[in-house]
Amino acid sequence: MTDMPTAPEPFDAVDVIRAKRDGGRVPEDALRWMVDAFTRGYVADAQMSAFAMAVLLNGMERDEIRVMTDAMIASGERMRFAGLGKPTVDKHSTGGVGDKITLPLAPLVAAFGVAVPQLSGRGLGHTGGTLDKLESIPGWRAALSNDELTAQLRDVGAVICAAGSGLAPADKRLYALRDVTGTVEAIPLIASSIMSKKIAEGTDALVLDVKFGSGAFMKDFERASELARTMVELGTDSGVRTIALLTDMDTPLGLTIGNANEVRESVEVLAGGGPADVVELTVALAREMLALAGQPDADVAEALRDGRAMDAWRRMITAQGGDPDARLPEPAETHTVTAPSDGFVTRMAAFEFGVAAWRLGAGRARADDAVLHEAGIDLHVKPGDRVVAGQPLFTIGGPDDSRFGRALDTLEGAWGIGDAAPERSALVREYVRGDEPLAR
């Protein structure tokens, strides 16, 4: 008995590559086939790499990006939360230095009866990972089954956990290629990567925190704005109510960069205190999330003051096996850098401070590296603050001082003291809704 012949493929990868290479539009059925065939292993890595480079150089039309995103969603499972009996809304940040906003934000929004399915990731390079921070809490676990996730959303309202491997597996394969072929920066592919996972996650609405500046993935405001508009369009076209905030990442957020120290700062915010910039961004994002969930008049600042958000935090941590009262790791060795003269702090460059924290062990260079939860940097001042000679500027810490030299080398020239305070820039530069940005 002979094997039955396999059906011929309806398209050829080379034709798809040529169409985009020559600046043309790839037909919908051909683009869907390309993603599916790549996921099946029929389209070779080299061919998909060539296609990604063509997209980087020539871009994609709005409808092409929608089709590609939909095809990546179709490559895996799609979660649904219709049976919860309450609206779901999520937030995604493009990553920054000291960006611990998810930690106070999820329980704050949940305190208003809204479900927040926050599927988060780990840090790589100079940007920290939400899961790494939370794993500073003894007993807390990131891995939840879909049933556990749904039950916690129903009972507690907030979940911060690792995304399952079943969500948009085509994106995982494509991202690995982009990372080694110089095509990570392609905005259509960035937008499709982020939004395929967020839409597959099944949330009703989504708020995006798109960062720009020194410590952001997108250094340039105009490119960050283009990415924000592209992602909002993708969400809108897919039936997910979506808004984006463009936020400044030239300076680290808050006063802590690391893991355990960022958890401490987040708890301070939930207790009604904390640094002004962390509170400002947490409140701004919460307001937009609650507005999308049908509560535009919710008093989120009051929920931080009256303890409702803290109660939700404690329930969320406990539900995932963590002890909200446990002592967090602290550095055994520290070194403090002081002001060499009187003046004003003129800058603290987010990228260099992020790299320094990574070199202290708070981050990882490879996905399988371990992180040191006690390692990191505590800032004592921010740009615009007046200081006197000898006043502490920042403190680096870790389990020992073996990593201090490289970290301090990284911070040479990353901060400054001058005669005049710098002009303060808005933390939230722009809101993007629909097809047009609406400044506030």
Q: Are residues 237 and 383 in the same domain?
A: no
Q: What is the pTM of this model?
A: 0.93
Residue 2 falls within a domain, yes or no? no
Residue 5 lies in a domain: no
Q: How many domains does the chain have?
A: 3
In angstroms, the Cα distances linking 29 to 15, 70, 176, 262 are: 13, 12, 24, 46
Which of 222, 196, 232, 107 is CA-nearest to residue 158? 107
Shared-domain flag, residues 36 and 129 = no
Same domain, 345 and 282: no
Q: Is residue 8 part of a domain?
A: no
Going by C-beta distance under 8 Å and a sequence separation of 6 or more, which residues neighbour residue 177?
45, 48, 49, 52, 183
Which residues, at least 6 apart from 219, have a Cβ–Cβ distance to it below 8 Å? 212, 213
380 is catalytic: no
> What is d(CA 277, CA 163) in angstroms, rounded to the nearest whole number?
28
> What are the structure tokens assigned to 201, written together?
């996650």
194 and 132: one domain? yes
Return the CATH number at 321.
3.40.1030.10
In a domain, 3, yes or no: no
Contact in structure between 166 and 31 (CB atoms under 8 Å): no
- Whether 341 and 229 share a structural domain: no
Assign residue 50 the CATH number of its domain.
1.20.970.10
Q: Are 117 and 159 in contact (CB under 8 A)?
A: yes
Pick the catalytic residue: 92, 126, 241, 314? 92
6 in any annotated domain: no
Asked whether residue 143 is domain-assigned, the answer is yes
User: Are residues 410 and 432 both part of a single domain?
Assistant: no
Statement to judge: residues 217 and 307 lie in one domain? yes
Question: Is 299 in the active site?
Answer: no
**Is residue 4 in a domain?**
no
pLDDT given for residue 120 in this prediction: 87
Tell me whether residue 197 is one of the annotated catalytic residues: yes
Catalytic annotation, pick one of 197, 198, 315, 403: 197
Same domain, 244 and 351: no
DSSP 359: I
- Which residue(s) pair with 118 in the sheet? 160
Question: pLDDT per position in the chain (440 positions), as tens?
Answer: 455 557 789 999 999 999 999 999 999 999 999 999 999 999 999 999 999 999 999 999 999 999 999 999 999 999 888 888 899 999 999 989 999 999 999 999 999 999 999 988 877 667 778 999 999 999 999 999 989 999 999 999 999 999 877 889 999 899 889 888 989 889 999 999 999 999 999 999 999 999 999 999 899 999 999 999 999 999 999 999 999 999 999 999 999 999 999 999 999 999 999 999 999 999 999 999 999 999 999 999 999 999 999 999 999 999 999 999 999 999 999 999 999 999 999 999 999 999 999 999 998 877 777 899 999 999 999 999 999 999 999 999 999 999 999 999 999 999 999 999 999 999 999 999 975 444 44
Degrees, nearest 5: CA angle 94-192-205: 70
* Beta carbons within 8 Å of 326's beta carbon, 6+ residues apart: 137, 138, 139
Q: Which residues of 9-27 are buried (b: 16+ CB within 10 A; e: fewer)?
A: eebebeebbebbbeeeebe
- Tokens for 368? 């399988």
338/407 same-domain check: yes
The whole-number pLDDT of residue 124 equals 66
Catalytic residue among 75, 120, 136, 193: 193
Would you state the pLDDT for residue 334?
98
Closest residue by Cα to residue 431 from 291, 303, 276, 279: 291
Position 8 scores a pLDDT of: 84
Q: Which of 122, 178, 287, 315 is catalytic?
A: 178
Q: Using a CB cutoff of 8 Å and minimum separation of 24, what contacts does 25-31 make?
A: 25/61, 25/64, 26/64, 28/63, 28/67, 31/64, 31/67, 31/68, 31/71
Phi-psi category of residue 213: left, alpha or beta, with phi > 0 → left and psi -120 to 50 → alpha: left
What's at 124, amino acid-wise?
A: L
- Give the gyration radius of the chain's Cα atoms: 23
Residues 37 and 173 in one domain: no
Compute the half-sphere exposure of residue 28: CA atoms within 13 Å on the CB side of its CA: 5
CA–CA dist 98, 350 (Å, integer): 9
Is 66 tagged catalytic?
no
Catalytic: which of 171, 248, 250, 378? 171
Is residue 423 in some structural domain?
no
Q: Are 353 and 362 in contact (CB under 8 A)?
A: no
Q: What angle, rounded to 10 degrees, do the helices at 169-181 and 62-74 form? A: 120
**219 three-state secondary structure:** coil
Same domain, 353 and 397: yes
- Do 45 and 64 belong to one domain? yes
H-helix or E-strand spanning residue 347: strand 343-348
CA distance 184 to 105: 28
Place of tokens 């401490």: 264
Residue 172 known to be catalytic: no
Per-residue model confidence (pLDDT) at position 1: 47
Residue 382 domain boundaries: 333-418
The enclosing domain of 413 has a CATH number of: 3.90.1170.30
Query: What three-state secondary structure class fits 395?
Result: strand
